[in-house]
Copies of this chain bind each other. A is one copy, B any other.
Amino acid sequence: MTINRRLGVLHGVRVLEIGHFVAAPFAARILADLGADVIKVEPPGGDPVRQWGEQIDGKSLWWSVHGRNKRCITLNLKTERAQSIVHALAAQCDVLIENFRPGQIDKLGLSPETLRRDRPDLIIAHISGYGQSGPYRDRAAFGAIGEAIGGLRHLTNHRPGASDLPPVRAGVSIGDSISGLYAVIGILAALWRREGRDGDRSAHTIDVALTESVLSLMEGMLPEYGALAKIKQPTGGGIATAAPSDAYPTADGGWVLIAANSEPLFAKLMGLMGREELVGAQGFRGNQERVENVAAMDALIADWTRSYGTSALIDKLTQADIPNSKVYTAADCASDPQYLHRGMIQSVDDPAFDGPVTHVGIVPRIDGENGVRWPGPPLGAHTREVLHELLAMNDAAIDALRADGVV
C-alpha cells in the first residue's frame, strides 16, 4: 500500500498524553513530529509550560515548539465525568503516556487495570523522577536533582581545584529530555512487540525514571568505579584522555573550540602559533604528556587565541585544516548554512503570534521528511473536535460539559 509520507511514519498510531512540564510532553511531541495522532489532555488552567520562558502577550514562545503537532483538549480530571471521558478516549488509543507522581493516576480513577478493561492491549508509559517502585518513588521529581543523582552534574564542572564556583547545569532540562527520548523508545519497542512480526497483541508497560535515564549515559563511570574504585572526575571544557581539546578565548570575548590532539594536528597548531620548538619538547611529547601538562599547555594556547578576534581565529585554524568551531549561540544556530540547508531552522506560521515562529526541524529525519504540521495549539483548541470525532458527542453534550466545568 502507499503511505502518504507527508503524514509521517507513525501515521495511524494514536497517543493519549496526560503530561505536563517537560518529559512526557516532549516524548509525545517526538511521536507527534513523526506523525502520530497525539491528544494532549490539560487541566482547564493549561500546562504551565504555556507560560514558561520568554512570552509575548502572556504566550510562551517555547510552547509554539513544545506543543506542536498535537491536538489539545481540556479535562478537569478531578471530576468523574472527565475520568469517564479519559477511559473512553484511551479505549481508542494505542498508547497512554503520563508523568504524574507515581500512583497519582490511580487516585484519579485512571489505574492501568481500569484503563485496560476497555482497551486490553493499551501500552502505558510512565515517566517519573525515580521510577514506579522503590524507596524513593514518592519523592518529588526536580529535573536538576535528577541530573545530580544521575551523575551528570558532578561531571559538568571544571577540573578539581580549577574553580570555586559550583558545577554547572546545561541551560536546558536535559534530564527531562533524555527520559522523554527513552520513553519514546519504550513505546515504539512495545508497539513493535504488540503488532510487528510475531506480535503478541498484548499490553506493555514502560517505566522510565529521570535519574536512571541520566545514569545510563555515564559510559565507563560505573565499571571503572566497581573494578578500580576510581571516581570519575570532571575535566572542564576538555576531554580526560586527549589534549589539546577545549574552548579557547578570543579577543572579542568569544570562545573557539580547538581539537588538535593528534600528533599532526598538534604540530600544525604549534606551527600556526610560531611555537614549533614545543613539538617534541618535554611536556608536549605525545597525547599522554600533553594530558598531564594540560593546564600549562592550555594557558599557552589561550594566550595566542586571545590575540585574535573570533572570526579571524576561525579563518586561521580552518585554513590550516585544524578542527575548530565557534561556540554557537542562538544567533549562530539560526543562521548556520548547514541547518538552513537541511530544514532544521523553520519558520512556522503561528496564529497565536500573528506570524511566523522559528522552530527547530524534526529529529530524527526519516525518508527525508522534515515538515512541521502545526504549532502548539491554544488551550482546548481541539476539545470539541476530539470529543465529536472519537466519542461521537454532539455540540449540546459538549456545551453541557463546558457549562459544568468538566472540559
With contact pairs A144-B259, A220-B62 given, residues A131 and B366 touching in the complex (Cβ less than 8 Å): no
Interface segment, one of A37-45, A78-86, A176-184: A176-184
Q: Are A169 and B363 in contact (CB under 8 A)?
A: no
Residues of B within 8 A of A239 (CB): 144, 169
Complex partner residue of A3 from B149, B183, B193, B248, CB under 8 angstroms: B193
A120 on the interface (CB 8 Å rule)? no
Residues of B within 8 A of A163 (CB): 163, 165
Complex partner residue of A220 from B61, B134, B136, B218, CB under 8 angstroms: B61
For the complex with contacts A151-B332, A190-B366, 4 further pairs of A-B residues with Cβ separation under 8 Å are A54-B227, A221-B330, A223-B357, A230-B330
Q: Are B341 and A241 in contact (CB under 8 A)?
A: no
A245 on the interface (CB 8 Å rule)? yes
A 127-148 to B, binary, CB cutoff 8 A, 1 in contact else 0: 0001101111100101011001
A224 on the interface (CB 8 Å rule)? yes
Complex Cα distance, B173 from A235, in Å, reads: 12
Instruction: Show 26 residue pairs from A and B whose CB-CB distance is below 8 angstroms, ordered by the A residue.
Output: A10-B193, A13-B192, A34-B189, A52-B241, A61-B220, A62-B220, A134-B342, A145-B325, A149-B333, A151-B328, A151-B329, A153-B255, A154-B327, A158-B168, A164-B249, A166-B249, A168-B234, A169-B235, A169-B239, A182-B364, A192-B196, A195-B197, A204-B366, A218-B360, A221-B333, A227-B358
| Smallest Cβ-Cβ distance to A174: which chain B residue | B217
Tally of A interface residues using CB under 8 Å:
151
Query: What is the copy number of this chain in the assembly?
Result: 2
A297 on the interface (CB 8 Å rule)? no
Q: Are A144 and B245 in contact (CB under 8 A)?
A: yes
| Smallest Cβ-Cβ distance to A127: which chain B residue | B364
Q: Are B192 and A148 in contact (CB under 8 A)?
A: no
Residues of B within 8 A of A34 (CB): 185, 189
Q: Are B223 and A359 in contact (CB under 8 A)?
A: yes
A191 on the interface (CB 8 Å rule)? yes
